[in-house]
Structure 1
Amino acid sequence: MKSKDLGNSHLGLMNNLLKKSLSFLLLIFCLNFYSCSNSNSKEKDQLILENIPVLELTAKTIEFPKTYVCEIQAVQFVEIRAKVEGYVDRIYVDEGQFVKKGQTLLQLSSLEFNEMVNSANAKLAQAQAEAQAASVEMQRLQILVEKDIISPSELELAKSKKSVAESGIVEAESMLKNAQTNLSYTTIKAPYDGIVDRFPKKTGALVTPGDLLTNITDVNEVFAYFKVTENEYLRYMRAKLEGESLTSNQDVTLILSDGEVYEYTGKLETMEADFERGTGSIAFRVRFPNPDQLIKHGASGKIQLSNQMENIFLIPQKSTFEIQDYSYVYILDKDNQVKVRSFKPLQRYGVYYIAEGFEEGDRIIYEGIQQVKDGIFVNPAMVSDKEAYDTLSSFL
């Protein structure tokens, strides 16, 4: 009997311990649940960033200046080369000097060519004398034939001799002209108004036919040649065929090698006939006035053309970040949650990127992209168009 009571007492004690253990575990679970809920609530509160500058995108139409590397050449550029052999006797002008058409630049030794002219004159005089003698002889024989003193065959022979003498005159005149021409080549004159380049052959130097003596450049106007791609050429030609506003009717801007804009504008005149095989490009030519002769032949620069782009979006550079070769912005959804968005800039426009693929009303993080990350929530502080694009006018 006592053993039975002892068992019941032990069983009751075990039940009490089990109830207390379950109550303790339930209390721990509730405390953990409350702690986790409180932690999640705090974490959610921490992910909401206040007053983050946000820009609402609007489509724009801009006149975008596009530049092309160009090669500049004088409208007239001529290499002056020797046509005869001789020594440089005298140089009459200085390098870099402006000369007029027909002005003497330098003189080659001419003694030998003077002698050739004298010899040709002598031969011409001899040929003329022989022709005169043949003419007198023919007239004398003509009288004798008429009087039947000699046969007509002798008169025919005299006429042949006269013809040979007259052809001798023609040959002698040709030799004289050739000698005079060679003599004239010893005096080098300017073919047109222009600026003299360097003289590689100095006084006393021997020159042979084909040697470069100097260059003459007329830089009152200059040509600027620049190359465009086949796609750009096709757009230009389609616009021309459709009668739209053409680049050829616009003023073309030249940017010099020091970055300064040339004060005179140019006009697009013509293009090459064929595409360059290696690059697939074709060259256009622009004429620029150069009254101050600031630009020299062989100079370099950039052609700037106005290119209108419609329905594009200007993304401020400070609103973007790059990872490898891709550009990204943070965009807000309707719940103001941040999402990462990649885009491909068409080209750069000052401190902005020109992009497509966005929609009117898209909102991007304007500033403070270092504070945000994908998935967090923000309370946006909207930035006006005027504030976002206040520097845009400096790039127009």
Structure 2
Amino acid sequence: MKTEKLTVFSGVKTFVITLYIPLMSLMVFGGTLSSCTKGNSKNKIEKEVLNIPVLELQPQSVEVPQTYIADIQAIQFVEVRSKVAGFVDRIFVDEGQYVKKGQTLFQLSSTEYSEMVNSARANLAGAKAEQSASKVEIERLEILVNKKIISPSELELAKSKKAVADSQIAEAESMLKNAQTGLSYTTVKAPFDGIVDRIPHKTGSLVTENDLLTSITDISSVFAYYKVNENEYLTFMRNKIEGGADAFSEKLTLFLSDGEMYPHKGKLETTEGDIESGTGSIGFRVRFPNPDNLIKHGASGKIQMMSKLDQVFLIPQKSTFEIQDFTYVYVVDKEDTVKVRSFKPIHRYKNFYIAEGFEPGDRIVFEGIQQVKDGTKVVPQSVAAADVYPDFLGPR
């Protein structure tokens, strides 16, 4: 037994109360406190070991879309300009009208050029008459020379006159041809099948040489021009050498300015002759059919090209975090301890980063990255890859 004295003050009197506390009770109480403390500590340790979903990485072959800004042009686009000056007498077509090759579009005033043709024809006729007279004169003089009635010099003079007449005929023929050409320019015809653009000059307008009358576009097919980097160009060329260029071109899709996918696939036809030194890019040209004339010359759009990447790893975006332009992920080692690791994504597609540099079988924290930090001990809960990766994955 242990005796304790408790002094109690009540007014001016002091009372001493003796307390008898069994020693065994103190020992039991102390043991209970110690047991509670150890239990709480153990529970705290158990709470620090988290159950965390973990994804095991395996290399994949994936096809990801790459988008490029495209400049769309008609397969033929020609500005129709006046070759001679004059007034617009008649307009035979309307804006937006489809025309055939050789169809008359405009008629310019032709009176002046008609007169030039008539004058040239008259000059040609006069030159031919001079030539005929020279021939007759030469024949007459040859008889007289043979009879030795006149000297040969007169015959030579007549032949010289005929040569002058011959040159006048050649000059007159040239002038006639030029006049006829000028007259033909007053009738403006379509250079090929296509659609008439805006007509800026109306009937009665005075146009000078080289004034724009309209434009003709052939949009039965269109060209889409875009640029790729040197590595993508080399991939295409290797596929072409190996006979796979057709398969490569079949993966080209056009998205129009409203974001809608064009229903017809394009075919890659050619590339530019050199790589730009400043950008390291080279231009590609893709032909798209345009049976409904939906796409116009000068339209804008985007080319989407599928690129295949082998032996890469897909990292879910929700498994990553970024600090100052660096991307990080938590890797779980063999002792189930979390280690932070940085990586540089190659591409980002949908909800995934495509990366290299990991090893097959590496485990990363799939969810709950806010609950862990470097050095945290976890209880890994495996996540099935089939539940994580989308349908665009290729064969492993």
- Which residue of structure 1 lines up, in the alignment, with residue 46 of structure 2? 45
With 94-103 and 384-393 compared, the bigger mean Cα shift is at: 384-393
- Which residue of structure 2 lines up, in the alignment, with residue 11 of structure 1? none
Paired residue secondary structure (2:126): helix
Instruction: Report if aligned partners of 1:248, 1:267 keep a CA contact under 8 Å in 2.
Output: no
- Which residue of structure 2 lines up, in the alignment, with residue 362 of structure 1? 362
AA partner of residue 100 (structure 2): K
**Structure 1 residue 315 displacement after superposition:** 1.0
Instruction: Report if aligned partners of 1:72, 1:222 keep a CA contact under 8 Å in 2.
Output: yes
**Structure 1 residue 220 displacement after superposition:** 1.2
With 225-234 and 32-41 compared, the bigger mean Cα shift is at: 32-41
5 Å matches for 1:11-22? none
Instruction: Report if aligned partners of 1:225, 1:283 keep a CA contact under 8 Å in 2.
Output: yes
| CA distance 1:393–1:354, change in 2 (3 Å) | closer
Q: Distance in 2 between matches of 1:206 and 1:46?
A: 92
AA partner of residue 244 (structure 2): S
With 136-145 and 187-196 compared, the bigger mean Cα shift is at: 136-145
| CA distance 1:230–1:75, change in 2 (3 Å) | same
- Which residue of structure 1 lines up, in the alignment, with residue 28 of structure 2? none
5 Å matches for 1:345-356? 345-356=345-356
**Structure 1 residue 340 displacement after superposition:** 1.9
TM-score for both structures, normalised by structure 2: 0.84
| CA distance 1:87–1:169, change in 2 (3 Å) | same
Q: Distance in 1 between matches of 2:32 and 2:160?
A: 143
Deviation string, structure 1 residues 36-76 (Cα, Å, up to 9, x no partner): 866654442332223x3322211111122222222222211
Paired residue secondary structure (1:198): coil
- Which residue of structure 1 lines up, in the alignment, with residue 85 of structure 2? 85
Paired residue secondary structure (1:204): coil
- Which residue of structure 2 lines up, in the alignment, with residue 245 of structure 1? 244
Q: Distance in 2 between matches of 1:248 and 1:74?
A: 25
Is 1:204 matched up with 2:204? yes
Instruction: Report if aligned partners of 1:247, 1:305 keep a CA contact under 8 Å in 2.
Output: no
Structure 1, unpaired ranges of 5+: 1-29
* Paired residues, number: 363
Deviation string, structure 1 residues 156-191 (Cα, Å, up to 9, x no partner): 111111121121111111101100101111111001
Q: Distance in 2 between matches of 1:375 and 1:40?
A: 20
Q: Distance in 1 between matches of 2:102 and 2:187?
A: 11
Computed over aligned residues only, the root mean square deviation of the Cα atoms, in angstroms, reads: 2.6
Instruction: Report if aligned partners of 2:236, 2:248 keep a CA contact under 8 Å in 1.
Output: no
- Which residue of structure 1 lines up, in the alignment, with residue 190 of structure 2? 190
AA partner of residue 200 (structure 1): P
| CA distance 1:44–1:249, change in 2 (3 Å) | closer
**Structure 1 residue 248 displacement after superposition:** 6.6
AA partner of residue 246 (structure 1): A
| CA distance 1:39–1:193, change in 2 (3 Å) | same
Q: Distance in 1 between matches of 2:377 and 2:220?
A: 65
AA partner of residue 245 (structure 2): L
Q: Distance in 2 between matches of 1:31 and 1:78?
A: 100
Instruction: Report if aligned partners of 2:56, 2:364 keep a CA contact under 8 Å in 1.
Output: yes
- Which residue of structure 1 lines up, in the alignment, with residue 136 of structure 2? 136
Identical-residue share of aligned pairs (%): 63
With 64-73 and 174-183 compared, the bigger mean Cα shift is at: 64-73
AA partner of residue 45 (structure 1): E
Paired residue secondary structure (2:168): helix
Paired residue secondary structure (2:244): coil
- Which residue of structure 2 lines up, in the alignment, with residue 17 of structure 1? none
Instruction: Report if aligned partners of 2:61, 2:393 keep a CA contact under 8 Å in 1.
Output: no
Is 1:114 matched up with 2:114? yes
5 Å matches for 1:156-171? 156-171=156-171
Deviation string, structure 1 residues 10-48 (Cα, Å, up to 9, x no partner): xxxxxxxxxxxxxxxxxxxx9999998666544423322
Q: Distance in 2 between matches of 1:34 and 1:134?
A: 145
**Structure 1 residue 382 displacement after superposition:** 2.1
5 Å matches for 1:24-35? none
| CA distance 1:32–1:322, change in 2 (3 Å) | farther
Deviation string, structure 1 residues 171-213 (Cα, Å, up to 9, x no partner): 1111011001011111110011011111222323322222222
Q: Distance in 2 between matches of 1:364 and 1:260?
A: 38
Q: Distance in 2 between matches of 1:32 and 1:180?
A: 122
AA partner of residue 359 (structure 1): E
With 128-137 and 363-372 compared, the bigger mean Cα shift is at: 363-372
Deviation string, structure 1 residues 317-368 (Cα, Å, up to 9, x no partner): 1222212211122222223332222111100122211011112222222223
- Which residue of structure 2 lines up, in the alignment, with residue 100 of structure 1? 100
Q: Distance in 1 between matches of 2:291 and 2:302?
A: 20
- Which residue of structure 1 lines up, in the alignment, with residue 9 of structure 2? none
- Greater helix content: 1
Paired residue secondary structure (1:237): helix
Instruction: Report if aligned partners of 1:69, 1:301 keep a CA contact under 8 Å in 2.
Output: yes
**Structure 1 residue 240 displacement after superposition:** 4.1
Paired residue secondary structure (1:370): helix
AA partner of residue 245 (structure 1): G
